[in-house]
């Protein structure tokens, strides 16, 4: 085998986990987790079922890897950036939620929400994994920024958990819509990117502490 062939095989092997995750995400969203067979994932990725199991020993582990790669890893990256962010809490939340969520919405990863919400009731282990790896770290990240904004006087003193839910849950819903009603009929399509920006700005405008207008000078 030539050096070029060896290099091609090595690169192909390095890319295989990502190819398997991409194939799994597509099929899980399209067919549902329970209805998707491991051999279908392997076939779509262009490998054997045995090769799939070398990387992911069960379909449940494959789903956990999908959740981890498409959501958990992104949340961890967001937390690392937030720790170094020099601006205001409002600027940080706008950047995290608008930019991050728009990228997520425009990618196949937005289908993970539909996948999880429709399947977790039948798979408690996956529900626990999703809660620990996605819901809890995401809530810690956003609530930490909201608390920071309140402490600095940028935001009104509000119930932090309610503020986080008000910010995040509609963003999850727009992703669900894209892969459910929005996928059925053209007239049910929503401009997800526009919705994300308008929604985040609307909630943050409501959170922002109002600065009292200065008293007018008395007339001479």
Q: Domain locations in the chain?
A: 1-57, 65-207
- Given a contact cutoff of 8 angstroms between Cβ atoms, the answer to whether 128 and 69 are in contact is no
User: What tens digit of pLDDT does each residue of 48-59 get?
Assistant: 999 999 999 999
Give the C-alpha separation, 135 to 132, whole Å.
Answer: 6
Query: Would you place residue 89 in the very low, low, confident or very high pLDDT band (cuts 50, 70, 90)?
Result: very high
User: What tens digit of pLDDT does each residue of 138-178 get?
Assistant: 999 999 999 999 999 999 999 999 999 999 999 999 999 99
Q: Vertex 144, ends 141 and 145: CA angle to 5°?
A: 90
- Given a contact cutoff of 8 angstroms between Cβ atoms, the answer to whether 132 and 46 are in contact is no
52 class by beta-carbon count within 10 Å (0-12 exposed, 13-18 middle, 19+ buried): buried
The residue among 220 and 176 whose pLDDT is bigger is: 176
pLDDT for 120 equals 84
pTM (global) more than 0.75? yes
Q: Which CATH superfamily is domain 65-207 in?
A: Tetracycline Repressor, domain 2 (1.10.357.10)
The residue among 32 and 215 whose pLDDT is bigger is: 32
Average predicted confidence (pLDDT) for the chain: 87
Give the C-alpha separation, 125 to 168, whole Å.
Answer: 24
Give the C-alpha separation, 189 to 206, whole Å.
Answer: 27
pLDDT for 13 equals 57
pLDDT for 4 equals 40
Q: Which CATH superfamily is domain 1-57 in?
A: Homeodomain-like (1.10.10.60)
Give the C-alpha separation, 141 to 72, whole Å.
Answer: 12
Q: What percent of the chain has pLDDT over 90?
A: 70
């Amino acid at each position: 085998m030539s050096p070029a062939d060896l290099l091609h095989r090595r690169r192909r092997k390095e890319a295989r986990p990502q190819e398997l995750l991409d194939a799994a995400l597509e099929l899980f969203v399209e067919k549902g987790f329970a209805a998707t067979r491991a051999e279908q994932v392997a076939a779509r990725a262009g490998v054997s079922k045995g090769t799939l199991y070398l990387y992911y020993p069960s379909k449940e582990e494959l789903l956990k890897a999908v959740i981890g790669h498409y959501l958990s890893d992104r949340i961890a990256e967001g937390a690392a950036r937030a720790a170094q962010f020099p601006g205001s809490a409002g600027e940080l939340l706008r950047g995290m939620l608008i930019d991050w969520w728009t990228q997520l919405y425009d990618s196949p990863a937005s289908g993970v929400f539909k996948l999880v919400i429709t399947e977790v009731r039948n798979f408690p282990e996956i529900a626990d994994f999703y809660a620990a790896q996605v819901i809890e770290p995401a809530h810690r990240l956003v609530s930490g920024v909201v608390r920071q904004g309140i402490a600095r006087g940028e935001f009104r003193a509000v119930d932090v958990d309610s503020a986080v839910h008000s910010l995040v849950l509609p963003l999850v819903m727009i992703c669900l819509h894209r892969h459910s009603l929005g996928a059925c009929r053209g007239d049910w399509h929503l401009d997800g990117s526009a919705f994300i920006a308008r929604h985040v700005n609307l909630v943050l405008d409501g959170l922002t502490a109002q600065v009292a207008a200065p008293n007018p000078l008395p007339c001479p």
